[in-house]
Amino acid sequence: MKILVIGSGGREHAIVRKLRRDEARAGDDRQLAIFAAPGNAGISGMAECVAIGAEDIDALLRFALTERIDLTIVGPEAPLAQGISDRFAEAGLRVFGPSQSAARIEASKSFARAQMAQACVPSPAYRVFRELDDAIAYVHAFAGPVVVKADGLAAGKGVTVAANATEAEQALRAIMAERVFGQAGDEVVIEEFLDGRELSVMAFVDANGYALMPAIEDHKQVGDGDQGPNTGGMGTYTPAYAATDTVMKSVREHVFDRMMAQWRRLGVVYRGVLFAGLMVVNGRPYVIEFNARFGDPETQLALELLDTDLLTVIDAVLADRVRELALSWSSDAALCVVLAAEGYPEAPRKGDTISGLIDTDSSFVYTLHAGTAFDGQGRTVTNGGRVLNVVARGDTIAQARARAYTVADSVVYAGKHYRTDIGARR
């Protein structure tokens, strides 16, 4: 069977690793030829990397047709927003990832907020603005902190939690006047600030139902104690302390059930992964954002703990029968520490040589590559903002945490930085 995994980050390395782990368990019953486009230095040891960018849909389609790819798994949000799943499906190819119309739930924050309002999904109050002066006037009239978001895709960095009107105005000028996120800043969404505990819940979704994955807590800010600017995610752990039975019941009934009903009303068929980024306030979850794909770095833990064969799950989604599956999850704790490059998240430096990497075959701690590449001498070097993910599991969060940080400390490259408090807050 030939599989194409699109993307180049830690999430895609986690997907490839899970496919290989399932292949080994299946034995002679399964042989996989896995390609990654474009992949990274770590993925190259598990799959054949092809030099096609994740957003070059024409070239990806030509490759998939020429190689007779049996299944394509789309990792990043940008190609989904550009309609890659539609293009592949029209060409008769099997693809795991929602259609362009379904992916709009991530591609436009204003659209997502409107859909949540119609579906009565709990979420913060918000306003949408296209004119900078109007937005500035609003934040100066608003009492208290606000959250300023670029409407479009911004690689997880288009969000500013502004403590006051001055900070909000700075964020608005950066987005709408300086155009730091390009067309993603044509509109902005300004939301009320919710003070609570962040929670990520993903689900495998198809036209008839969904299957939830374990709840995971992400750490968005670059520095310890949730200090500094937002990033794509600096680390994760599970089981998440905020994911009580009451909270998860509300997540199912008030978030996923209501969004499924909304899509049915709209006539939209969603097949893939739906990610709900939540803020739990006084025991009640509110949706901060939806993503139309596997989260990063949440996927690194979810797939580590998924005992069910991943291809079995994907086949069920594409056949609209995922709710019929009884997914099996390990009861272990798991934790991921993201190692970042000098200058991340603003201007990450590339090309620093990496040493101290460990064998990725360990059953309880290993390193996934995210922003890495090979230089002209075959050395592994930094090639992005989030460079490596150290994933560990254990009987407890404390055990997984100790294992992860032992490895994180041993990796060496110039400018390495990472949070030292992943999973430490109760």
Contact residues for 124 (Cβ-Cβ < 8 A; gap 6+)? 147, 191, 192, 193, 194, 279, 286, 288
pLDDT at 361: 62
pLDDT at 363: 76
Confidence of residue 29 (pLDDT cuts 50, 70, 90): confident
Q: In angstroms, rounded to a whole number, what is the distance separating the alpha carbons of residues 227 and 223? A: 5
SS (H, E, C) the chain: CEEEEEECCHHHHHHHHHHHHHHHHHHHHCCCEEEEEECCCCHHHCCEECCCCCCCHHHHHHHHHHCCCCEEEECCHHHHHCCHHHHHHHCCCCEECCCHHHHHHHHCHHHHHHHHHHHCCCCCCEEEECCHHHHHHHHHHCCCCEEEEECCCCCCCCEEEECCHHHHHHHHHHHHHCCCCHHHHCCEEEEECCCCEEEEEEEEECCCCEEECCCEEECCEEECCCEEEECCCCEEEECCCCCCHHHHHHHHHHHHHHHHHHHHHHCCCCCEEEEEEEEEECCEEEEEEEECCCCCCHHHHHHHHECCCHHHHHHHHHCCCHHHCCCCECCCEEEEEEEECCCCCCCCCCCCECECCCCCCCCCEEEEECCEEECCCCCEEECCCEEEEEEEEECCHHHHHHHHHHHHHHCECCCCECCCCCCCCC
> Which neighbouring-strand residues pair with 372?
382
Largest Cα separation within the chain, whole Å, is 66
What's the average model confidence in pLDDT over 410-418? Answer: 97
pLDDT at 144: 78
Mean pLDDT of the chain: 95
Is the predicted pLDDT of residue 185 greater than 80, yes or no?
yes
Give the global pTM: 0.95
Structurally, at CATH architecture level, domain 197-324 sits in 2-Layer Sandwich (3.30)
Is the predicted pLDDT of residue 360 greater than 70, yes or no?
no
What's the average model confidence in pLDDT over 143-148? Answer: 88
Task: Look at 23-32, 50-59, 76-85, 346-355 and tell me which has the smallest mean pLDDT.
Answer: 23-32
Which residue spans of the chain are classified as CATH 3.30.1490.20?
Answer: 125-192
Is the predicted pLDDT of residue 286 greater than 90, yes or no?
yes
Over residues 206-240, the pLDDT tens digits come to 999 999 999 999 999 999 999 998 899 999 999 99
Is the predicted pLDDT of residue 183 greater than 70, yes or no?
yes
Q: Which two tokens stand for residue 174?
A: 């950066």
What's the average model confidence in pLDDT over 397-417? Answer: 97
What's the average model confidence in pLDDT over 137-159? Answer: 87
Is the predicted pLDDT of residue 145 greater than 80, yes or no?
yes
What single-letter amino acid sits at 42? G
Confidence of residue 359 (pLDDT cuts 50, 70, 90): low
Which residue spans of the chain are classified as CATH 3.40.50.20?
Answer: 2-96
Which residue spans of the chain are classified as CATH 3.90.600.10?
Answer: 333-410
Structurally, at CATH architecture level, domain 125-192 sits in 2-Layer Sandwich (3.30)
Contact residues for 46 (Cβ-Cβ < 8 A; gap 6+)? 13, 16, 17, 20, 34
In contact, 416 and 370? CB cutoff 8 Å:
no
pLDDT at 142: 83
What's the average model confidence in pLDDT over 247-255? Answer: 98
Which residue spans of the chain are classified as CATH 3.30.470.20?
Answer: 197-324
- What dotted CATH number matches 2-96? 3.40.50.20
Q: In angstroms, rounded to a whole number, what is the distance separating the alpha carbons of residues 229 and 160? A: 7
pLDDT at 425: 85
Other C-beta atoms lying within 10 Å of the C-beta of residue 199: 24
Assigned CATH topology for domain 333-410: Glycinamide Ribonucleotide Synthetase; Chain A, domain 4 (3.90.600)
2-7 and 33-38 strand pairing:
parallel
Is the predicted pLDDT of residue 347 greater than 80, yes or no?
yes
